[in-house]
Amino acid sequence: MSRTFYVTTPIYYVNDVPHIGHAYTTLAADVIARYKRLKGNEVFFLTGTDEHGQKVEKAANAAGETPLELADRVVKRFQALWEKLDVSYTDFIRTTQERHKNGVSHLFAQVLAQGDIYLGEYEDWYCTPCETFWTETQLIDYKCPDCNRPTEKLKEESYFFRMSKYQEQLLAHIEANPDFIQPKSKRNEIIAFVKEGLRDLSISRTSFKWGIPVPGNERHVIYVWFDALANYITALGYPDQSGNFGKFWPVDAHLIGKDILRFHAVYWPTFLMAAGLPLPRKVFAHGWWTVEGQKMSKSLQNVVEPNMLIDKYGADAVRYFLLREVPFGLDGDFSHTALVHRINSDLANDLGNLLNRSTAMINKYFDGIVQTPGPLSALDQAYRAKTEAMVTQVDAHLDELAFSKALQAIWEVISAGNKYIDESAPWALAKDPAQHERLGTIMYCSLESQRIIYHLLAAFMPKTATKALSYLSWDAPPTEAGLKWGGLATGTKITKAEPLFPRIEEGTRD
Partner RNA sequence: GGCGGUGUAGCUCAGCUGGUUAGAGCACACGGCUCAUAUCCGUGUUGUCCGGGGUUCGAGUCCCUGCACCGCCA
- We find the least distance from the C-beta atom of residue 362 to RNA, in angstroms, to be 9
Nearer to RNA, 128 or 297 (CB): 297
Distance between CA atoms of 1 and 19, rounded to whole angstroms?
39
Burial 411-438 (b: 16+ CB within 10 A, else e): bebbebbbebbeebebeebeeeeeeeeb
* C-beta contacts of 399-403 below 8 A and 24+ residues apart: 401/28, 401/32, 401/182, 401/253, 401/255, 401/284, 401/328, 401/329, 402/327, 402/328, 403/28, 403/31, 403/323, 403/324, 403/328, 403/460
Distance between CA atoms of 203 and 155, rounded to whole angstroms?
15
CB 133 within 8 A of CB 105: no
CB 142 within 8 A of CB 150: yes
499 is an interface residue for RNA by CB under 7 A:
yes
Nearer to RNA, 39 or 503 (CB): 503
Report the residue from 353, 424, 449, 492 that binds RNA according to the rule CB under 7 A. 353
Identify any residues that bridge with 11 across adjacent strands, giving them in sequence order: 48
CB 79 within 8 A of CB 92: yes
- We find the least distance from the C-beta atom of residue 392 to RNA, in angstroms, to be 18
Report the residue from 428, 481, 486, 509 that binds RNA according to the rule CB under 7 A. 428
Beta strands in 162-247 (DSSP E): 181-182, 201-202, 204-205, 213-214, 217-222
- We find the least distance from the C-beta atom of residue 464 to RNA, in angstroms, to be 9
CB 211 within 8 A of CB 222: yes
Nearer to RNA, 17 or 338 (CB): 338
CB 161 within 8 A of CB 115: no
453 is an interface residue for RNA by CB under 7 A:
no
Distance between CA atoms of 465 and 467, rounded to whole angstroms?
5
Four-point Cα dihedral 20, 23, 25, 30, nearest 10: -150
297 is an interface residue for RNA by CB under 7 A:
no
Encoded one letter per residue, x for contact with RNA by CB under 7 A and - for no contact, window 308-327 reads -------------------x
Report the residue from 157, 350, 437, 480 that binds RNA according to the rule CB under 7 A. 350
- We find the least distance from the C-beta atom of residue 445 to RNA, in angstroms, to be 14
Number of residues that bind RNA (CB under 7 A): 42
Nearer to RNA, 47 or 424 (CB): 424
502 is an interface residue for RNA by CB under 7 A:
yes
Report the residue from 42, 189, 305, 480 that binds RNA according to the rule CB under 7 A. 189
Report the residue from 143, 165, 209, 341 that binds RNA according to the rule CB under 7 A. 341
Report the residue from 97, 167, 418, 466 that binds RNA according to the rule CB under 7 A. 418
Kindly state the DSSP code that residue 96 receives in the 8-state scheme: T
Distance between CA atoms of 393 and 395, rounded to whole angstroms?
5
421 is an interface residue for RNA by CB under 7 A:
yes
Site for RNA in 364-383 (CB under 7 A): 364
- We find the least distance from the C-beta atom of residue 60 to RNA, in angstroms, to be 29
- We find the least distance from the C-beta atom of residue 368 to RNA, in angstroms, to be 12
178 is an interface residue for RNA by CB under 7 A:
no
Report the residue from 419, 484, 493, 509 that binds RNA according to the rule CB under 7 A. 419
* Three-state DSSP state, 462: helix
Nearer to RNA, 2 or 137 (CB): 137
- We find the least distance from the C-beta atom of residue 65 to RNA, in angstroms, to be 34
Please report, in angstroms and rounded to a whole number, the separation of the first and last CA atoms in the chain. 52
348 is an interface residue for RNA by CB under 7 A:
yes
Nearer to RNA, 100 or 384 (CB): 384
In the complex, the residues that contact RNA under the rule CB under 7 A are 137, 185, 188-189, 192-193, 196, 258, 262, 327, 330, 341, 345, 347-353, 355-358, 360-361, 364, 415, 418-419, 421-423, 425-428, 499-503
